[in-house]
Amino acid sequence: MRKRRVLVFGVIGLALLSVVVLIQMGPSSPSNQPLATRGRLGASGNKIAVAYLDGAIAEGRSSVATTGGITPRLVARYLKKLEADSSVRAVVFRIDSPGGSVAASQAIAGMIEEFSKPVVVSMGDIVASGGYYIAAPADRIFAMPGTMTGSIGVITSIMDLHGLYDKLGIKDQVIKSGQHKDMYQRTLTQEERELVQKLSDAAYEQFVAYVATHRGLPVERVRELATGELFLGSQAVELGLVDSLGDLDDAVAAAAELVGVESPVVYEVPAPVFLVDLWSLLGEVQAFAKALVLSPEERLLWRLREQPMVEMRY
């Protein structure tokens, strides 16, 4: 028991040391992209900003170095900073995302849609589902021939722990007001499955309508494409989901053309560092340390209970 306690405190100490190192290093941004010219914010007025959005899309607070995915808060920080600086003429979002939360995807897409400066999207390895949703309102979309994109659809996951409870001898007693209040805590009835399907269908229609509006495609045409399947970038261009094939440099050139800049200076936006999220990180470290002292069965149950009982994703 003493050795396990020492291990727990060692893990916490290592995590705290990592936080200090991250803060000392400060924000960073990718520098291995083939961008010929780089600049600083606030200098000349011919800048094209490049911001990187990587990971799953989720609501909530970003981690210390914003490496935990794409959140509305992260995108809002980017756009607020770039909106206020007159030296930035247009923005290129380099997106790599398999999708994620329905509401978060809609919030981010709304921000991009309302942004006053031109926005161009450069797709990386995969920009699917919610990733494609946030790309749809851009003025231009570029993809590599081998980029995986599309996956227009909705998936709803519901965790049923009833079998595990039985195995561990746990009896869940529920007192409810409202016929379906506990529907996500047990096996669904047929009627409840139909209710969830209606929710999924409604979110699906929102996705289809949004893509149709921003890509200038008929709704029925988008519905034909919205089977949840992935397309290569070369296919997506032919289908009208992507404007052109090209890399990040091509996207920057297109953004410069949109604003009439002949010799753009590229500004790579550093990822914001949210120091207020140190407490959130410490909470995660404490949770991890707690898991070290639980039995395998307790650890499994604890992890499962930490997951959302129902999750709808683009």
Q: What is the pTM of this model?
A: 0.78
Q: Is residue 137 in a domain?
A: yes
Partner residues linked to 155 by β-bridges: 313
- Catalytic choice (80, 176, 181, 290): 181
- 129 catalytic per annotation: yes
Q: Which of 126, 121, 154 lies closest to 139, judged by CA?
A: 121
Structural domains of the chain, count: 1
Decide if pLDDT at 243 tops 80.
yes
3-state secondary structure of 182: coil
What is the mean predicted confidence (pLDDT) over 282-288?
Answer: 65
The count of other CB atoms within 10 Å of the CB of residue 29 is 13
pLDDT band at 282 (very low <50, low <70, confident <90, very high): low
Q: What is the DSSP string of 270-283?
A: PPP--GGGHHHHHH
What is the mean predicted confidence (pLDDT) over 63-76?
Answer: 72
* Residue-number span of the structural domain to which 108 is assigned: 28-158+188-275+304-313
pLDDT band at 149 (very low <50, low <70, confident <90, very high): very high
Q: Is residue 168 in a domain?
A: no
pLDDT band at 214 (very low <50, low <70, confident <90, very high): very high
Those residues with Cβ within 8 angstroms of residue 52's Cβ, 6 or more apart along the chain or in another chain: 29, 30, 93, 94, 96, 268, 269, 271
pLDDT of residue 67: 46
Q: Which of 93, 116, 120 lies closest to 30, judged by CA?
A: 93
- 198 catalytic per annotation: no
Query: Lowest-pLDDT range, 16-20, 61-65, 96-100, 235-239?
Result: 61-65
Q: What is d(CA 100, CA 56) in angstroms, rounded to the nearest whole number?
A: 5
What is the mean predicted confidence (pLDDT) over 243-269?
Answer: 95
Those residues with Cβ within 8 angstroms of residue 171's Cβ, 6 or more apart along the chain or in another chain: 165
Q: Is residue 200 in a domain?
A: yes
Q: Is residue 257 in a domain?
A: yes
Beta strand 88-97 pairing with 119-128: parallel
Q: Is residue 224 in a domain?
A: yes
Decide if pLDDT at 180 tops 60.
yes
Ranges 31-45, 232-246, 268-282, most confident: 232-246
Q: Is residue 182 in a domain?
A: no
3-state secondary structure of 59: coil
- Catalytic choice (62, 101, 105, 129): 129
Q: Is residue 289 in a domain?
A: no
Q: Is residue 292 in a domain?
A: no
Residue 207 belongs to a domain with what CATH number?
3.90.226.10
pLDDT of residue 38: 52
Those residues with Cβ within 8 angstroms of residue 92's Cβ, 6 or more apart along the chain or in another chain: 48, 49, 50, 51, 119, 120, 121, 122, 248, 251, 252, 255
The amino acid occupying position 117 is K
